[in-house]
Structure 1
């Protein structure tokens, strides 16, 4: 049994000798990156969930076309859940001789369970937040309805058999969707008012909703209870579906952040692997002495295990503290995006401590297990035991530890596999490239004279050491260059997805006879727009097989079958559409009835090339063959359609028109004029969504750029650790050359040429690996248009040569000033 006090004394001695400092710094950096990203992801994730619940006005929503049984409401309340009932239905509202179709929402007193309403006393004044709802006898209406009907707060509306006073202007409801649904102007009334209107009859079109709020465990249990009732017509909506467009941008931001943390772990792991090997090599003699004094193999393993555990806990604790401080800095960068941040919890701290243990044990245990086989005879013969530190197990354990950390850190198997695949590919590339370089150096030195010949001879004398240096330096440089790709290229491409002049307004329900006038009015404001026909059609059959809700298992599939599609006809493929399969139509092929379908919809509904789709449009059956599948860039905010047909197939059918355009703030005075001149036209303002998306991109970019500093620090450790590999050998060579009369300047030049050569080779190969990895990830993970960055090969070679040259010159400067006798004595001791 090894006493803990003895292990601590040994650990303190190793620290004082300086052998553990690089190792501790590498662990601290890795833990700092993991814990900082963990705290940031936890708080931003919690805040995003809260925001997503606000977009539903609840934590869960049940929705159906028929009233829910009272027993369902009682069951929810019995489980401790907060509830609020809601009805949504279309109806005409009247004022004097005027009438307007509106979307009526009736809510109970508890609405909204999450989020707030924004209301005001005038359409032209700034709104205020409120958690109240209209009392019976009162209605709150949208600004568009007031403008269209020339009404004001205090006037009355007639809704069915009820006369309602307009109490407030309703600017925003937390759960009103941003898509092309619920587009009629809103009228909000009290739930108890519905019966007095007399509008709800047996055949009325009504959507019933039950809003639920409470603890997640109780919500999950109640959701399972609802599913067990077997009501297939009931849809369950969760916060994850609240605002899918913003959610996709947030997921991309989290991938960028996770990638920056992964690269820090990789670079830190390389430094750990090198320092662990050096530390284990320096423990060969002490272990041999302990074996001579009677220490068993079990006691050797236990001693080093205790030292590593204590070291991992201390480094993990320090890294967690630094990570908490760093996350505080990062939080200031996203404070504007999510102002109501939940408090941090303890989980990232535990993750940091566990990371310290995993990285140390994963990298060190194979070497420690080999130390137990050091023979006692090494005390007399120092050539024994050295080879015990090699072996494939050391590197396999290191790679496994890195992959598990990647997967655990980002919780994204695809991202972890891509980065890990890039690491393995780069390792293979670096190993083969380094071995080829050593062979070329051996050939070249036969035809070289002077200083260059001596420098090449130094590389040729250490073939395996040179290969190891190129591999580890190249892997570290690859991570740094890949982070540069992320920071300087991929982030720029990501920001370019939402240009400054992205469309911020949509117009729908433009009548055919209004198209020219509406387009002229938009043009007078300085905006450019193209109006597209939009035809409402219900999917009836796929290749002659009628479709129904029962054919699909997913809620989205059921919704798509139940609702009408917005169809359109196009002659030219839009710029933000890309063919994924098939061919765009050509009038010369003689086939007039063709469809092109968006890939995601095709997959959801089981459509394939060659299928015949039948839609009902205004009582007429329209049938055509699917001849192409398209991928659509929905982030462009341009007008796009799930299903489009040939002009010959759809032209002549009843249609309205839709457009999107960018309108600067100074020109927005034309919108009230457009509403008054064309009351049937619906204006959709997407500025709020654009502001949120741009905020996520900008602030996420700043967070990633801040994380670059950690990776750079880890890269510096890799350089120092790699140079330590040959320190003792260089020390002996320097002493030998000095004793033979060589000048310090000659020895310095020899080392500098060797440093530049190794760094240039490692950097060039790393640049090739980073270019390939960045190009692959841009397309597969981030869906960005990004060309192959061949410039990284030259940039990596130059940067690698310069960095290794400077670091090597600083790390070996004392070798050229110390006396040969002292250097030979130090080399003998090592």
Structure 2
């Protein structure tokens, strides 16, 4: 019976199936991609690092740290730092990451160069490996020279890839690799320079890296050094991409959820029409279980076929993700197909189809044989307790499924709660609209307009289902669009004379005046001239930092105890700061303690309050201070912000260096200034913010593309659900349209009735969805991004009329059969 009935309703059942196929495809493709990503990270972890483990330090290692490093016998070592370099061929300059290497690094993987021999010969010949993209930008060839600080080296080859370097970091500061023995001759490692020393090790097969890390972590931590194994790097990398996976999973879940809503709404109408035949079956002796199983088998079969087709589509789609995310992956992703996500897709198709169709299916259980004789437009209703039980099962299953995807109970609960609220609001608006039309029905409107409004609350109406489907689709796409605008607005920086787009770092005290004069000689303003003093914390509230490091019960965050703070001194707050507690002290007062101002995040992590004592080690000199105030700092603003600010009159005589900034009106002036500064002061690092913002815009554009690609699943599934729901309503409206034609209605009138009905539904659903998206985006802007929100007009001008016209077009296609044929022919065909 299930097979025979399905053959008679195959077109409608196909629409049910289409609702869930894309959702399953999204889940399967993302699950397969996530599995492949984790497998690749595990299999290529040594290649990513180039070694089994690394010991690194931010400053030159201490004697005790060197003793540990040497006892383990490193196979290679590196010192790296960011600096400006020059190409003598035509005077071009660029901020790069200089890597001085010695030894046989990498032990796993390869340094890829052009020519290939340069990777092995550069150490012996004393040449430099320069980032391949950088050579193209400056039209430089292997054999030309490069000036790094006070030395000039020949370019041995173009560097294409190297273990440990990522695409994003290389875009900001491209790598330049030189032999370690030349680092001292560059004269670039001066006071205040940001540098990192790394020692690479190849372990024996018998060495337990986890035990080694546990044994040495504390000793190295005391010497401001760290041990990093390839397994811990794998875990960090996995956690980083877990966030990407969670977002993609959530987007896929939304698509699947929309498909399930489509199944539920379509089966609701489908079963409603089958109640008469079910009553006849029961008159002929069919049991409740038999009538229930007939339609359960149909829905389970639809879910199984939909799950299988969705899984096959998902296998194809997962090949797209490596291309979308290639700029964020530090390795080439090798794809393989595993059986688990495919089985999950098929089982998910069956389970979700049955779960969301369960409530209308249960109505077949309560059909009475006497319903054959009853003329009642009211559908059979299941008991209220059964309805509550089914709704409870759906919510629990949604929570468990989202928890499985997100691996966080709070986020899973928030997502399910947000979904319920959104659906409830859309349903409430639809019901409110129906009630309002009933109460204030426009009796003086034309016949066609009144008929179209009556269709919105007549028996078998689709108002609630369509408003939810249309509203949710509009809500998703509009929220994505608004969120993209907020993200891009955060990177927008107005260009004026007070806005700095060039930052000059590592200006030494003896260079200070000369650098300022060079900037002014170019007719440029010196926007910022900020002194920086490096220091570490010696004690917090009377407790020494060295003892706190060993205390496993401490509440102070670890980074506070190991961090080298770059502080400044000034007499006023900046635009990005707001006083939260205490009093701002602009100048040091005679015979009074030094009162500093700290940022709110530092106060939170160090457990400090106003009045607490802090002792700093300023290059060997201990300085006692008291927390005078706590500031709220907006770290997102494009300017230098500090965790610790001293009053004027304290640090002026301390060893210090400066950060300066200026505004270059165009690329020509910027290039000329950089060339002049690098020629006179090779140790300076210059950041051109235009390049940084171009990179950020490029990354955001790619992220936006990924978001839009994933949103496509939800949006397209929503459209399929919409088509299915509207097409299903065809079977409810054909008989009424035929009767109207029999009574003398013209094709034009029938067309107008349908057009008005679907115009009202499309306009109401898309408008409510757009309003909800606007409210959600305002909340995101205020509470998440903390940015002012100016809504774009595109959703109002494009999405609102576009979705409304789509609903109208689908609705009008429903009645073409009625318009083209005679009433009797139409009725015979539908029967």
Question: C-alpha distance in 1, partners of 2:80/2:742?
Answer: 97
1:657 deviates by 0.6
What is residue 718 of structure 2 aligned with on the other side?
Answer: 715
What is residue 86 of structure 2 aligned with on the other side?
Answer: none
1:566 deviates by 0.8
User: Are the counterparts in 1 of residues 727 and 810 from structure 2 also a CA contact under 8 Å?
Assistant: no
What is residue 539 of structure 1 aligned with on the other side?
Answer: 537
User: Are the counterparts in 2 of residues 87 and 207 from structure 1 also a CA contact under 8 Å?
Assistant: yes
What is residue 736 of structure 1 aligned with on the other side?
Answer: 739
Does structure 1 residue 423 correspond to structure 2 residue 419? yes
CA deviations over 1:765-806 (Å, ceiling 9, x no partner): 211211122333455566765446698678766455433323
Gap change, CA 1:799 and 1:10, over 3 Å in 2: same
1:223 deviates by 1.7
What is residue 136 of structure 2 aligned with on the other side?
Answer: none
What is residue 27 of structure 1 aligned with on the other side?
Answer: 20
Question: C-alpha distance in 1, partners of 2:52/2:779?
Answer: 38
What is residue 565 of structure 1 aligned with on the other side?
Answer: 565
Question: C-alpha distance in 2, partners of 1:711/1:717?
Answer: 10
Q: Higher mean Cα deviation, 342-351 or 767-776?
A: 342-351
What is residue 769 of structure 2 aligned with on the other side?
Answer: 766
What is residue 629 of structure 2 aligned with on the other side?
Answer: 627
* SS of residue in 2 equivalent to 1:20: helix
User: Are the counterparts in 2 of residues 613 and 625 from structure 1 also a CA contact under 8 Å?
Assistant: yes
**Which of 264, 269, 278 is 1:273 aligned to?**
264
User: Are the counterparts in 2 of residues 249 and 696 from structure 1 also a CA contact under 8 Å?
Assistant: no
What is the TM-score with the length of structure 2 in the denominator?
Answer: 0.73
What is residue 382 of structure 2 aligned with on the other side?
Answer: 388
Does structure 1 residue 756 correspond to structure 2 residue 759? yes
Gap change, CA 1:595 and 1:415, over 3 Å in 2: farther
Question: C-alpha distance in 2, partners of 1:588/1:147?
Answer: 41
What is residue 130 of structure 1 aligned with on the other side?
Answer: 119
User: Are the counterparts in 2 of residues 552 and 558 from structure 1 also a CA contact under 8 Å?
Assistant: no
* SS of residue in 2 equivalent to 1:567: strand
User: Are the counterparts in 2 of residues 253 and 697 from structure 1 also a CA contact under 8 Å?
Assistant: no
User: Are the counterparts in 2 of residues 246 and 692 from structure 1 also a CA contact under 8 Å?
Assistant: no
Question: C-alpha distance in 1, partners of 2:583/2:128?
Answer: 45
Question: Which of structures 1 and 2 has the larger relative contact order (alpha carbons within 8 angstroms, sep 6+)?
Answer: 2
* SS of residue in 2 equivalent to 1:388: coil
**Which of 808, 812, 816 is 1:813 aligned to?**
816
User: Are the counterparts in 2 of residues 127 and 171 from structure 1 also a CA contact under 8 Å?
Assistant: no
What is residue 512 of structure 2 aligned with on the other side?
Answer: 515
Structure 2 gap segments, 5+ residues each = 58-63, 82-96, 131-144, 183-194
Question: C-alpha distance in 2, partners of 1:731/1:214?
Answer: 78
User: Are the counterparts in 2 of residues 403 and 416 from structure 1 also a CA contact under 8 Å?
Assistant: yes
User: Are the counterparts in 1 of residues 540 and 614 from structure 2 also a CA contact under 8 Å?
Assistant: yes
CA deviations over 1:507-534 (Å, ceiling 9, x no partner): 4331234224324435667987633211
User: Are the counterparts in 2 of residues 58 and 113 from structure 1 also a CA contact under 8 Å?
Assistant: yes
1:25 deviates by 0.8
What is residue 202 of structure 1 aligned with on the other side?
Answer: none
Does structure 1 residue 223 correspond to structure 2 residue 225? no
Gap change, CA 1:298 and 1:346, over 3 Å in 2: farther
Q: 1:550-699, aligned counterparts within 5 Å? A: 550-551=550-551, 557-571=557-571, 573-574=573-574, 577=576, 579=578, 581-582=580-581, 585=584, 587=586, 593-608=594-609, 611-618=612-619, 619-625=621-627, 627-633=629-635, 636=638, 638-659=639-660, 668=671, 671=674, 673-681=676-684, 695-699=698-702
RMSD (Å), alpha carbons: 5.5
Q: Higher mean Cα deviation, 433-442 or 282-291?
A: 282-291
Question: C-alpha distance in 2, partners of 1:287/1:704?
Answer: 46
1:387 deviates by 2.0
Gap change, CA 1:514 and 1:346, over 3 Å in 2: same
Gap change, CA 1:150 and 1:417, over 3 Å in 2: same
CA deviations over 1:349-398 (Å, ceiling 9, x no partner): 44533442343233124444553444455555586973239934555545
Question: C-alpha distance in 2, partners of 1:505/1:354?
Answer: 57
Question: C-alpha distance in 1, partners of 2:49/2:553?
Answer: 23
Gap change, CA 1:668 and 1:465, over 3 Å in 2: closer
User: Are the counterparts in 2 of residues 367 and 389 from structure 1 also a CA contact under 8 Å?
Assistant: no
CA deviations over 1:608-636 (Å, ceiling 9, x no partner): 45544332324151413252343453695
What is residue 138 of structure 2 aligned with on the other side?
Answer: none
Question: C-alpha distance in 2, partners of 1:624/1:573?
Answer: 18
Question: C-alpha distance in 2, partners of 1:296/1:565?
Answer: 79
Question: C-alpha distance in 2, partners of 1:308/1:461?
Answer: 27
Q: Higher mean Cα deviation, 232-241 or 263-272?
A: 232-241
What is residue 142 of structure 2 aligned with on the other side?
Answer: none
Does structure 1 residue 432 correspond to structure 2 residue 428? yes
User: Are the counterparts in 2 of residues 815 and 823 from structure 1 also a CA contact under 8 Å?
Assistant: yes
Gap change, CA 1:370 and 1:690, over 3 Å in 2: same
What is residue 549 of structure 1 aligned with on the other side?
Answer: 549
CA deviations over 1:55-91 (Å, ceiling 9, x no partner): 74446545685468799979xxxxxxxx95658799x
User: Are the counterparts in 2 of residues 507 and 684 from structure 1 also a CA contact under 8 Å?
Assistant: yes
Question: C-alpha distance in 1, partners of 2:157/2:556?
Answer: 35
* SS of residue in 2 equivalent to 1:459: coil
Question: C-alpha distance in 1, partners of 2:335/2:493?
Answer: 32
Q: Higher mean Cα deviation, 652-661 or 533-542?
A: 652-661
Q: 1:779-798, aligned counterparts within 5 Å? A: 786-787=789-790, 798=801
CA deviations over 1:247-297 (Å, ceiling 9, x no partner): 999788667655654543343333222123233334545555665666555
User: Are the counterparts in 2 of residues 422 and 769 from structure 1 also a CA contact under 8 Å?
Assistant: no
What is the TM-score with the length of structure 1 in the denominator?
Answer: 0.73
Question: C-alpha distance in 2, partners of 1:498/1:411?
Answer: 41
Question: C-alpha distance in 1, partners of 2:288/2:611?
Answer: 71
User: Are the counterparts in 2 of residues 535 and 653 from structure 1 also a CA contact under 8 Å?
Assistant: yes
Question: C-alpha distance in 1, partners of 2:517/2:79?
Answer: 36
User: Are the counterparts in 1 of residues 532 and 658 from structure 2 also a CA contact under 8 Å?
Assistant: yes
Gap change, CA 1:382 and 1:603, over 3 Å in 2: farther
Gap change, CA 1:305 and 1:434, over 3 Å in 2: closer
Gap change, CA 1:297 and 1:724, over 3 Å in 2: same
* SS of residue in 1 equivalent to 2:744: coil
Q: 1:287-302, aligned counterparts within 5 Å? A: 287-288=278-279
* SS of residue in 2 equivalent to 1:533: strand
User: Are the counterparts in 2 of residues 265 and 402 from structure 1 also a CA contact under 8 Å?
Assistant: no
User: Are the counterparts in 2 of residues 142 and 170 from structure 1 also a CA contact under 8 Å?
Assistant: yes
Gap change, CA 1:606 and 1:408, over 3 Å in 2: same
Structure 1 gap segments, 5+ residues each = 1-5, 75-82, 91-101, 121-125, 155-166, 191-204
Question: C-alpha distance in 2, partners of 1:71/1:358?
Answer: 60
Q: 1:71-82, aligned counterparts within 5 Å? A: none
User: Are the counterparts in 2 of residues 609 and 629 from structure 1 also a CA contact under 8 Å?
Assistant: no
Gap change, CA 1:569 and 1:420, over 3 Å in 2: farther
Gap change, CA 1:505 and 1:776, over 3 Å in 2: same
Question: C-alpha distance in 2, partners of 1:621/1:169?
Answer: 49
Question: C-alpha distance in 2, partners of 1:251/1:679?
Answer: 42
1:466 deviates by 3.2
User: Are the counterparts in 2 of residues 147 and 672 from structure 1 also a CA contact under 8 Å?
Assistant: no
1:127 deviates by 11
User: Are the counterparts in 2 of residues 616 and 622 from structure 1 also a CA contact under 8 Å?
Assistant: no
What is residue 13 of structure 1 aligned with on the other side?
Answer: 7
1:344 deviates by 1.7
Question: C-alpha distance in 2, partners of 1:708/1:265?
Answer: 12
**Which of 308, 317, 342 is 1:317 aligned to?**
308
Question: C-alpha distance in 2, partners of 1:807/1:790?
Answer: 26
User: Are the counterparts in 1 of residues 100 and 177 from structure 2 also a CA contact under 8 Å?
Assistant: no
Question: C-alpha distance in 2, partners of 1:277/1:437?
Answer: 21
* SS of residue in 1 equivalent to 2:659: strand
1:753 deviates by 2.2
1:567 deviates by 0.7
